[in-house]
A and B are shown apart, each in its own frame.
Chain A
Amino acid sequence: MSISLRNVRKDYDQQTKVLEKVSAEVQTGEFFVIVGPSGCGKSTLLRMIAGLTPITDGEVRINDRVVNELPPKARKLTMVFQNYALYPFLSVWDNVAFGLKARKLSQSDVQNRVNNALKMVNLTDFKNRKPRELSGGQRQRVALARAVASDADICLMDEPLSNLDAQLRIRMRQEIYNLQRKLGLTLIYVTHDQVEAMTMADHIMVLNDQHVQQIGTPAEIYQHPANEFVAQFFGTPQINILPAKRSAENSHLLTVGSNDMQVALNEEVPADQLRIGVRPDELTISRADSVDSNAVVKNTEFLGNETIVYATLNSGDNVRAVLPGQVNFRGYEPIKVQVGSHLLFFNNDGERIGLTKEEAVHA
């Protein structure tokens, strides 16, 4: 059950464009996450795959068959909604059975599927309850059980965890992941939460501004983001993006801020101005006297196993650094900030350019 999107476009009218040139391949049995900030069109994309919203242009294929004109029912898929779309007047058991009965499965088949699905999500003891008698997590599991019980191999989920509290979200994340693996579902999962995307996905599609920013595995997306937006969207605290200039004396040398730091490259710096991205855990901080320092500490947040240090470079740029363990700084204490070896480079359009840092620069 592979799904393929080819140049999919969605306009509501001449003025309101929602999505443009969306292309992607989703393999059978894959956990595919569509992630982006609110309003990026990710839910609309999911609804187009489901057949709930018409496609303005382009093709959606399921198993190599164009389904643009097929009604949702004929696409053989299930969908888990953000608010679960449970029928309040039906028991848990009947909620799970509802779609199967609508598809006219035999009675024994319905029995088996529903009972299995409820067992799988640990709701067997609750099968006679009404949705209002369940907790949020249990309602979520009823919605999952509906997807599990279905004979469809494609499952679409639209922010299924966003109505749950933080702890429950982590637990349900694992349950959904396990179910997907166990059943071999082809799962397309929409979320605005980068952590959900990173922890569950085989492949992630990052959407922003009506366009696909990048498609890749979590590691690719994190390590080789296509642009500044993707780099900033993933990872907490957010990546530091700092302006940098080609040094006048050495074309291999970049100066960051107002000469606060220097970075030597293996190749010639391709432009006068660049931006470098440094993950907060790639920064090192050492105490320094005011002569040697290039920054002052603004604030620290102790998180138990690590400390986040907020500092301002002499150039006025703010940086975030994550240091292991507990580190104590006074306010406005002068420090020296240095970059590690994993750096990202972006051109002025925000696109990443492939440059590498020369090791052992500083003498």
Chain B
Amino acid sequence: MLKSPATHSSTAPVTSDKAKSKAERSESGFWLNAKDKYYAWIFLGPSLLILGVFIFYPMFRTLYLSLFLTNTVGKPTVFVGLSNYINLLTSADYLSSLGVTMVYVLAVTVITIALGLILANYASKQLAGIGIFRTLFSATMGVSVSVAAIFWLFIFNPSTGFLALVSNWLHLPQINWLTDPGWAMLAVIITTVWMNLGFTFLILLGAMQSVPTTLYEAASIEGATPRYQLFHITIPMISPTLFFVSIITLIEGFKSFGLIDLMTKGGPTNATNMLVYRIYKDAFYSGNYAQASAESLILTVIIAIFTLIQFKVLEKRVNY
């Protein structure tokens, strides 16, 4: 069911006999070079405009706003330098948000990768009908945030929910999943992991299937057990993919908003008040645009760092 990525194999590969130098490559189509710059404007113009207005301008505007105090409609009033940042980084409240987000992001990443590995490991076994399992395992990719929230809100519902029902049957104490500060975070983590699982599984499975089977054959001949093969062949071989999925999951975790809004609204008592939700509240509820801008910039820096790490590591495979 899952094939390796499609390639256009209908033309024969160019033999290296006359592998062209970079200089020659760059000259292909040189007749139009003079006019290329006009074409460049046409081809790049729309994208540049959109990115400029909705990505670059807002970044500078956010930076600008974060250095001011703002009025209730978000107009800057008094220049205050870095004091918005200083206030934030000395506020126990904000630091707790930062901490909560870190816990959430780390937990989600570790659990998602671990479960994804287990699913992919079993789904890569050679068994009849394995394709059906592969399809089913990837199913949560099709679940949007609000659907996931509805499914799990019902499961976690303290009076009529599924877990309440199960613990009733088993005579276990009731847990107020979403209203108990001790449990709400776990509930959100579980839901996020479940949503992420399909995507993670699919990528890890793809990576596992591209490990050359001869490696396993050689290991089997030498008597390695399946478990030994998993830890000494599979995981090392797919480590670049593992790294990639981890970074993606981390970044997505930092940007989480929908589930928080739908399930806990940052509560109870700020137990799940994560960075983006905070920005939203501070800006659009409290009208504190300046502070929200400073929070936005901190978030940008965090995400930029992880993205840069990703670029750096992937650089070898990416040709600029």
Contact = CB atoms under 8 A, between A and B. Distances in A.
B12 A84 contact: yes
Contacts of B32: 71
Contact of B23 (A16, A86, A88): A16
Interface string B5-47: 0001111111101101101100111111000000000000000
A39 B20 CA distance: 9
Interface in A143-166: 159, 162-163
A44 B30 contact: no
B17 A88 contact: no
A16 B21 CA distance: 11
A192 interface: yes
B303 to A, nearest CB: 38
Contacts of A159: 17-18
Interface string A6-45: 0000001100100000000000000000000011000110
A51 interface: yes
Contacts of A83: 11-14
A64 to B, nearest CB: 22
A65 interface: no
Contacts of A71: 31-32
B17 A86 contact: no
Nearest to A51: B31
A321 to B, nearest CB: 31
A132 B10 contact: yes
B16 to A, nearest CB: 9
Contacts of A44: 24
A139 B11 CA distance: 8
Contacts of B8: 88
B11 A131 contact: yes
Contacts of A38: 17-18
A163 B15 contact: yes
A331 to B, nearest CB: 37
A281 to B, nearest CB: 29
A192 B17 contact: yes
A85 B13 CA distance: 10
A215 B303 CA distance: 65
A72 interface: yes
Given A51-B31, A72-B31, A162 B11 contact: no
Nearest to A11: B23
B24 A12 contact: yes
Interface in A171-224: 192
Contacts of A12: 21, 23-24
B30 A54 contact: yes
Ranked 7 nearest A-B pairs via Cβ = A132-B10, A88-B10, A71-B31, A12-B23, A131-B10, A163-B12, A38-B17
28 contacts: A12-B21, A13-B23, A16-B21, A16-B23, A43-B20, A52-B27, A52-B29, A53-B27, A71-B31, A72-B31, A82-B18, A83-B14, A84-B11, A86-B10, A86-B11, A88-B10, A131-B10, A131-B11, A132-B9, A132-B10, A139-B10, A139-B12, A159-B17, A159-B18, A163-B12, A163-B13, A163-B15, A192-B17
Interface of B: 8-15, 17-18, 20-21, 23-24, 27-32
